[in-house]
Structure 1
């Protein structure tokens, strides 16, 4: 084969080669699949309670693939980007509302001294700074708040947003995000903003954040609001479907964890409020308070187990209570591949609102699994495999 001398390359190609040497692009992903058994699941008519056995994609982690990269601009400054696609491995269907890069799509600038600014579709500070301190970080959304009503399992992202992430200062880090509503003459319509802080020192990690999203001014022919915000909605199950016409979502979340040898203990609290106005189908602000605790133990370098408890109460237009317990275990076959088993039980009591604003008996729906029970209790068991690349 004939060698090509660098001396023979045009000057433009030499410059391109030099730029490429200071840049990097990484392809990565997670493929997660399992089989799930659900006791008490609504059938196609949405009325009867049935036993459900289903193929389940994304149990520990949402299945995804992505590209991320950096370009060194000199002086400690770098250009960064990340594109991340979510999909259902059982069907191949795109996730996050069939968006090609629905999980994340950002571009920005990063400095070790001044921090990072990104623009695009991305996670808010509640997810970045608090979610990693909960059991969701270890065993996925089955452990999440019922219906993921407080975004415990990052069911929502914020589109058309700009985010700032500070460098670490003695274990402290802060974040702020603003999502543009994009409505002419109504700056606040559809806007989202969020901010938070975190601290980590040895075995102790703490985080706290605030999130607010305006639901927009779009209404149906019945003059009831439909959610048109820079933020995705959280109204995915019977837990909070009755508040889908909310004027706004407000979330305050705090969490912490402590590592003691092979054990990790953690606790979190959230207050979520769905505010109403004249275009809402409910009459007063719905307030959900949630508390959760978990305990994990690394039995061997390959085997980890965990148990969690989650309590949620609803006050405002109705009163309901949800008690949920979960178990999890995973076994690492390698640094990239693991087998897992998950289980959950939830009991609901009291009353809530349905999608028409009518008071109904509270139904169970475990974590962010997204299956309505049709009754006041539900059990879920899942076994599966996760591979990272």
Structure 2
């Protein structure tokens, strides 16, 4: 009799395993448009030491100095096809398996590509594209929340987007202003490994808590895997959020070691920088978005810094940059929305380095899957600031620029 019950229980377990509910979804987004920008540049960073891989103050040979100066100059107006006016074009797949008792296993793979050329997006390694350069995770979820492991969009980006009237879009938003912090801090723009915060983190483990009366938290840790240096290449972050009664609040702290990036790049060679656990990436942010009826208003303050001392291997040490933002939006109908934002960056170490950006946009849902949009922006850079209006359209140091972008975004 006991044997019969054991056999029945075993068959029940096997049956539940074999017939557990599961699903796999293929999805994607195409976002294409046209962009006009009144000025342009060849590189992201205005820091010659970043471009050459040499310590600050190094005197370059005349030919090399001329090459750097040419890279930093204004190349003139540009009219071009532009992928990713709202967000990047992506293709991906995701799957979930019901484990019973409120628990589930999941995976997700997602990568960016350029609709104009078909090229895949960049990775953590300079000049090397990544097929699933945004997300490549496996995880579990349940009453405890969720845990996902692998390359993923950093939790800080979601927190910033949820407290920005422009929703951290690629054109004129808190995302573009944060990228302006990175370029001012010496980011060469050749990889996703930047000096302030992170858009993506590789080898990351992210825990997301359940929602308790509108309060939730995200915790992230990414081991570096560097032999002999426990903190070599590590990333850590914490995000606390609140949502309720039309109000969204977010506070975050991000810390990284050996960032921006593991190599310095010159026109002729790439020099490896040892990953020893240098604490050279710190970012914190507080922001709020309040929606009443059809109006939305947002505000934020953040600081990005390279806390480690300046040295030949850390030419941007001591960098400290403040970012302020305000935004306003109005939804005329469920299908038609307008939003605007103002983003101001200042260098705590040099008052000459400031940047002011103003942007506005309108989007109209033609269907559940298709959105048409138009956007306009203006930025005024001073000193060595290179804040741009839209991701991927570069601006020369200290140059102002205006931009107009129209496009279509389709989900499938």
Using the size of structure 2 for normalisation, the TM-score is 0.77
Report 1:133-172 matches (<5 A): 133-137=163-167, 139-143=169-173, 144-145=176-177, 147-149=179-181, 156-172=199-215
Mapped pair 1:385 → 2:408:
yes
> 2:74–2:399: 8 Å Cα contact kept in structure 1?
no
In the TM superposition, what is the alpha-carbon distance from 1:268 to its structure 2 partner?
1.4
> 1:39–1:379: 8 Å Cα contact kept in structure 2?
yes
Distance 1:155 1:180, change over 3 A: closer
Matched with 1:50 is: 76
In the TM superposition, what is the alpha-carbon distance from 1:265 to its structure 2 partner?
0.8
Mapped pair 1:305 → 2:305:
no
CA distance in 2, matches of 1:33, 1:129: 26
Distance 1:227 1:288, change over 3 A: farther
Matched with 1:314 is: 347
> 1:219–1:279: 8 Å Cα contact kept in structure 2?
no
Matched with 1:356 is: none
Distance 1:185 1:117, change over 3 A: same
Report 1:65-76 matches (<5 A): 65-76=91-102
Which protein is richer in strand relative to its size? 1
> 2:216–2:242: 8 Å Cα contact kept in structure 1?
yes
CA distance in 1, matches of 2:154, 2:162: 13
In the TM superposition, what is the alpha-carbon distance from 1:343 to its structure 2 partner?
1.1
In the TM superposition, what is the alpha-carbon distance from 1:105 to its structure 2 partner?
0.7
> 1:251–1:270: 8 Å Cα contact kept in structure 2?
yes
In the TM superposition, what is the alpha-carbon distance from 1:136 to its structure 2 partner?
4.2
Distance 1:227 1:256, change over 3 A: farther
Q: Which piece of structure 1 moves more, 277-286 or 90-99? A: 277-286
Q: Which piece of structure 1 moves more, 128-137 or 117-126? A: 128-137
CA distance in 2, matches of 1:194, 1:175: 8
Mapped pair 1:376 → 2:399:
yes
Matched with 2:240 is: 197
CA distance in 1, matches of 2:339, 2:265: 48
CA distance in 1, matches of 2:168, 2:160: 13
Kindly provide the CA deviation profile for residues 147-173 of structure 1, in whole angstroms up to 9, marking residues without a partner as x.
34369x996211011111101111110
CA distance in 2, matches of 1:252, 1:117: 23
> 133, 137, 151: which is aligned to 1:106?
137
Kindly provide the CA deviation profile for residues 206-234 of structure 1, in whole angstroms up to 9, marking residues without a partner as x.
11111111116956699x986787xxxxx
> 388, 391, 401: which is aligned to 1:365?
388
CA distance in 1, matches of 2:137, 2:265: 36
> 253, 257, 272: which is aligned to 2:304?
272
Secondary structure, aligned partner of 2:88: coil
Distance 1:364 1:24, change over 3 A: closer
CA distance in 2, matches of 1:208, 1:41: 34
Q: Any stretches of 5+ residues in structure 2 without a counterpart?
A: 1-10, 44-69, 124-128, 183-193
Matched with 2:6 is: none
> 1:163–1:175: 8 Å Cα contact kept in structure 2?
yes
CA distance in 2, matches of 1:146, 1:163: 22
CA distance in 1, matches of 2:239, 2:326: 21
Distance 1:372 1:228, change over 3 A: farther
Matched with 1:7 is: none
Distance 1:373 1:28, change over 3 A: same
> 306, 323, 331: which is aligned to 1:290?
323
In the TM superposition, what is the alpha-carbon distance from 1:295 to its structure 2 partner?
0.7
Matched with 2:146 is: 116
Kindly provide the CA deviation profile for residues 59-79 of structure 1, in whole angstroms up to 9, marking residues without a partner as x.
101100111111111222211
CA distance in 1, matches of 2:114, 2:402: 23
CA distance in 1, matches of 2:21, 2:228: 44
> 1:249–1:274: 8 Å Cα contact kept in structure 2?
yes
Using the size of structure 1 for normalisation, the TM-score is 0.81
The count of residues paired between Structure 1 and Structure 2 equals: 351
Kindly provide the CA deviation profile for residues 174-201 of structure 1, in whole angstroms up to 9, marking residues without a partner as x.
1100011110110111100001110111
> 95, 103, 107: which is aligned to 1:81?
107
In the TM superposition, what is the alpha-carbon distance from 1:281 to its structure 2 partner?
5.3
Matched with 1:178 is: 221
Secondary structure, aligned partner of 1:149: helix
Higher relative contact order (CA 8 A, sep 6+): 2
CA distance in 2, matches of 1:248, 1:258: 34
> 1:146–1:368: 8 Å Cα contact kept in structure 2?
no
CA distance in 2, matches of 1:195, 1:186: 23
CA distance in 2, matches of 1:259, 1:62: 26
Matched with 2:30 is: 31
